[in-house]
Chain A
């Protein structure tokens, strides 16, 4: 059955929003990243005829969100997470992640945290896969040093 455009867009959001959001959050932090995600998807809706036909919309919308979010930079991220529902995280993790460069953080979060392939991360980060691997290796090394972790497995 062919659904309405709204249905198609709803499915699109369900499919791609998580990946877009984590990509933008890894780059710009939770608040700004989420804000950029909403902006990018709003743009996607406004230009649905173009976006719906894309093979890899996440990379495109990431750049939309990147440009849309810049004027909306806010000074303070939301405190995370909400009490009572949050999973446990290493208390030093947010600060340690913050000490990474943006590209290192993106590589670590997307590849190591969310299991993206190097190619997927490279697409969004607009770098080569080799560069992703370099950022990932250096980011993990810094992160583990900051957290005093010697092993991930």
Chain B
């Protein structure tokens, strides 16, 4: 499952097409306000052109045209990847055969294909995860990431419904499925509608959206119209004994469908406080009372009046994630509160008069409940989800199940089944509890668990976009570096492990700032915003890795008015200069504390947005700096001595640019194999490892399992990688994780994981989880140095705190040493 940041980005990226120039011009009516001075200049130019044209006519047309070779970029068609290797799980169902919808390109214009080893996908694919579940008549229905799946549990068969089977919306949005008493199956998608399966096919229940549109607009905290994504999203569904389908639609709209027509239920007297956040769960009692949960309250509608229940009425929390009605009419709710910091909540039962509350002290596995359901025999099941998302790179927590037999609660720990957060649950006639999970659905019969995976044929095709960058030269193969500057050694008597003085001048904010290790001086050079982000000016600071002290150096004379410094700093060892690569190129000599302006970079733009898309590494063989633009995938070699840029030949296939969703790209030069290693986080598709052979000018996608590290989007990947020379590992830091890549063995390993509790707020034994930290390899002390970054501090205001500390990481032992503590407030 992609992380939250990726999901947000994918949602918005898919939500609307870009606005292109023809549409803009059409809207403007092709008008443009031209100032008077421009008209005058145009008139003068016209006269000039007339005269020039006359001269051209009488002098001939033999003018010389000089064309500079520039690399061109061609985007290829995504490729097909073989089905994932089946995972050994009990009772796995045979896959359903589906036609391959992706046809590889053919013919002379076809781009080369990239084949990913299935083992590279080390987390469940999107299609595996289930969100809603319903059991009836021997069938188990689940809303999955790829469609609606129906398992025949007895026959061990599965059938998948997607748009190819006339499901009127894509499976990507399906989040709830229910079976009505008359046997029809209903599925809803938050933004894409509601569909009905009558036993032979799917049809869409049209018309709800027009009624929903008449509902109240969304209102944000400021009381402003929030007319945006919250409007008319279906948040919950329930089906009554009379087969009436009730829909909660945000905000504060309640609709019912009788199979033919929609109607709006009155909510004026409901005193809804949940706003758009209502309908988190719904249920209909045998007497027809409709129960609607929200993050604020529980509402009951008997067809005439509304009742409202909150924590003040005896509920353990107002944040109600699930509501269910027992056969005897008792109403059960599962609540979940303060899930991040101190998960709590509980289960509550309403007998029509009073609420009874149950929590851990009563025998529940945990108080926080992610799903709750009641079997036909009255057994109550509470599901306590687990943070077992392997893509999170954190410790996996076991989830649990609690069962109430009418008298007492019993609890069971559920492990190794990909339980996820268990947001959906239902009980079959045999009393087996089925819950949603990341890998399909999990069944628990009271003793053993069973996992039914979504049939392989339905899983999304893994697409690995790449580009073909034509042209370029073999400059990296033909250039030889000078002898590098010697590496600094610490002065006698110094202790590089000694914590630096707490009271010392420090950069304003060391996180998010480009850094480079100057080998010859033993100093980390950093360019930091002088007065914080968005403020003018940058400052030069150096960090002494022997004394653990910062020193402010001469301020550079560039980017004085820009809101951020150049994209990257890279140390050119054979010239002993730190080079700042941005819209302009500048070189810094630590020894003399002087900056020297060089020429512009070759990417043709000086805009702010482009520099942050640049990555650079030093190639010690050629002595050149290799610069890669992750927007265009262009690669150039820069010779700081001559201030000359040369395009680099990249062969027939290059890693994709950020426009393909490959936002997270971390580069490092690995001397052990003479390759540039690229860790590439491709949104939604997992991560992949690429290597570039500088001498052959060829990229290779490595057939290795690549960890899914959260390295952030634009800002944070800039300095997240470094090559640890003695350990022969490319090291990457992510929030709570340090990973190393052994290029010789084509293998990644997790070198360190936070031992803190499974959320990214804990600090554990190493640095506080953070974003925006930058790392370098310190050759003087043979270790990785991690500088700065922002961390979330729950008890702090502001929420994000710039750490301004420095740590050393020993790749061999996985141990941390704090070199400089955060400044005391």
Q: Is the CB of B11 within 8 A of A97?
A: yes
The answer to whether A134 and B190 touch (CB under 8 A), given A87-B683, A119-B533, is no
Identify whether the interface residues of B are mostly helix, strand, loop, or mixed. loop
Q: Does A2 contact B (CB under 8 A)?
A: no
Q: Is the CB of B800 within 8 A of A153?
A: no
Residues on the B chain within 8 Å of A90, using CB: 1, 4, 7
Which of B15, B24, B460, B661 is packed against the most chain A CB atoms within 10 Å? B15
Q: Does B222 contact A (CB under 8 A)?
A: yes
Q: Does B746 contact A (CB under 8 A)?
A: no
Output the nearest chain A residue to B279 by Cβ-Cβ distance: A95
> Nearest 4 CB-CB pairs, A to B?
A98-B230, A119-B534, A115-B713, A29-B228
The answer to whether A83 and B4 touch (CB under 8 A), given A133-B799, A150-B339, is no
Given contacts A39-B27, A101-B221, A133-B800, 18 further A-B contacts (CB under 8 A): A10-B21, A21-B18, A46-B28, A46-B33, A55-B561, A75-B213, A78-B15, A81-B170, A86-B14, A88-B172, A91-B172, A94-B229, A113-B5, A115-B5, A115-B715, A116-B714, A150-B759, A153-B392
Q: Does A144 contact B (CB under 8 A)?
A: yes
Q: Does B551 contact A (CB under 8 A)?
A: no
Q: Does B126 contact A (CB under 8 A)?
A: yes
Q: Does B389 contact A (CB under 8 A)?
A: yes
Among candidates A31, A55, A119, A137, residue contacting B799 with C-beta atoms closer than 8 Å? A137
Which of B16, B131, B663 is packed against the most chain A CB atoms within 10 Å? B16
The answer to whether A34 and B275 touch (CB under 8 A), given A76-B231, A99-B250, A145-B339, is no
8 A-B pairs, CB-CB below 8 angstroms?
Answer: A33-B228, A34-B17, A48-B33, A56-B563, A81-B15, A85-B14, A99-B250, A149-B4
Complex Cα distance, B220 from A148, in Å, reads 22
Residues on the B chain within 8 Å of A22, using CB: 12
A-B contact count (CB 8 A): 324
Q: Is the CB of A77 within 8 A of B228?
A: yes
Complex Cα distance, B520 from A51, in Å, reads 46
Q: Is the CB of A98 within 8 A of B760?
A: no
Complex Cα distance, B607 from A56, in Å, reads 10
Q: Is the CB of A46 within 8 A of B31?
A: yes
Complex Cα distance, B201 from A119, in Å, reads 52
Binary interface encoding of chain B residues 676-693 relative to chain A, with 1 for a CB under 8 A from any of its CBs, else 0: 000000011000000000
Q: Does B453 contact A (CB under 8 A)?
A: no
Q: Is the CB of A30 within 8 A of B12?
A: yes
Binding site for B on A (CB under 8 A): 5-6, 9-11, 13, 15-19, 21-22, 25-34, 37-39, 41-49, 55-56, 73, 75-95, 97-105, 108-109, 112-120, 122-123, 129-130, 133-134, 136-138, 140-141, 143-153
Residues on the B chain within 8 Å of A104, using CB: 220-221
Q: Is the CB of A89 within 8 A of B534?
A: no
Identify whether the interface residues of A are mostly helix, strand, loop, or mixed. helix
Complex Cα distance, B235 from A78, in Å, reads 17
The answer to whether A89 and B10 touch (CB under 8 A), given A10-B21, A102-B222, A144-B4, is yes
Which of B193, B224, B533, B607 is packed against the most chain A CB atoms within 10 Å? B533
Complex Cα distance, B13 from A25, in Å, reads 10
Binds A, one of B306-314, B491-499, B587-595, B731-739: B731-739
Output the nearest chain A residue to B126 by Cβ-Cβ distance: A88
Q: Does B295 contact A (CB under 8 A)?
A: yes
Q: Is the CB of B33 within 8 A of A47?
A: yes
Complex Cα distance, B799 from A103, in Å, reads 15
Q: Is the CB of B230 within 8 A of A99?
A: yes
Residues on the B chain within 8 Å of A108, using CB: 8
